[in-house]
Amino acid sequence: MFKTAKAEATRELLRSTALRLFRDDGYERTTMRRVAAEAGVSTGNAYYYFPSKDDLVHELYREVQADHARLVAERLGTTPDAVDSPRPSPTRLEDRLRLAWQASVEAFEPYHVVGTELVSVAIRPGARTSPFSAESTPARTASRAVFAEVVAGAHDVPPHLRADLPELLWYGQLGLTLFWVHDTSPGRRRSLALASHGAQVVARLVRLARLPIARGVTDDVLRLVRLAASDATEGSGS
C-alpha cells in the first residue's frame, strides 16, 4: 500500500510514536490527534495510514509478539547465531514452556501501563482488538507459532498431542497475560512464578496423557477447546 520511501517513513514514525505513547501514557490518552501532533503529521494524514486507534493497537500486538518470538528463539537456542552455542537447547516440555511463558512476561513488560485498559476494551463483544478477532490474526498466528516451536523441540510430548498442544498452550498464554495485567509485584515476580509452576503442571498432565486410562479424558478436553476456539473466532467475525 505504501510504496514510496517517504510514505514508509511516515507510517513508521506514526507507529513508533503511538507505541511510545501507549507505553508512557496508556490507551485512553493516546488519541489519534495526539499521535499525529507528536509525530508532526496532520491528523488527516495519520488517519490515512492508520484508519483508527485499533489499527495502532494491532501494531502494538505485533511488536510484542515479535519481541516474544525473538526472546524465545534466543533462549531455546533456535536462532542462527545460537547453532554454535555451548549450551544445548532444552528438550523437556517443562523447561521449554517455562522459558516461553517467562519470556512473554519480559516482552510485555514495557506495556504494563496500558494492559488493563486494553483488556477492558478487548473483552467487549465484537471488539476488533480481541485476541480472537480477524484483525488480530497476524499476532495470534505469531504467538501460536512460538508454542508450536516449544512443542516441536520437546521429546516428552506424546504423538497424539503434538498437533493440538500448541493451541492449548496459547490459551494458557492468554490466562498468564490476564494475570500479568493485574500483577503489581516487583519485577512481576508473581507472574514469573505462575509461568514456572504452570509449566510444571502442564508437563505433568502431558505425561499422564500417555496412559491409556487418561486418553479419553484428554480427547474430551481437546474437543472442548476446539469448540471454545470455534465459538470465539466466529463470535469475533474471524
Q: Residue 28: give its domain's CATH number.
A: 1.10.10.60
Owning domain of residue 118: 54-235
Instruction: Say which CATH number the domain at 59 has.
Output: 1.10.357.10
Query: Tens of pLDDT along 46-79?
Result: 999 999 999 999 999 999 999 999 999 999 987 6
Per the model's pLDDT, the better-predicted residue between 81 and 160 turns out to be 160
Residue at a domain's end among 13, 32, 51: 51
Query: Tens of pLDDT along 21-38?
Result: 999 999 999 999 999 999
Query: Tens of pLDDT along 179-211?
Result: 999 999 999 999 999 999 999 999 999 988 887
Contact assessment for residue 14 and residue 50, using Cβ atoms and an 8 Å cutoff: yes
Q: How many structural domains is the chain composed of?
A: 2
Q: 141 and 157 share a domain?
A: yes
Q: What is the pTM of this model?
A: 0.86
3-state secondary structure of 70: helix
Q: 4 and 70 share a domain?
A: no
Cell numbers for 33, please give them: 490527534
> Does 216 score more than 90 pLDDT?
no
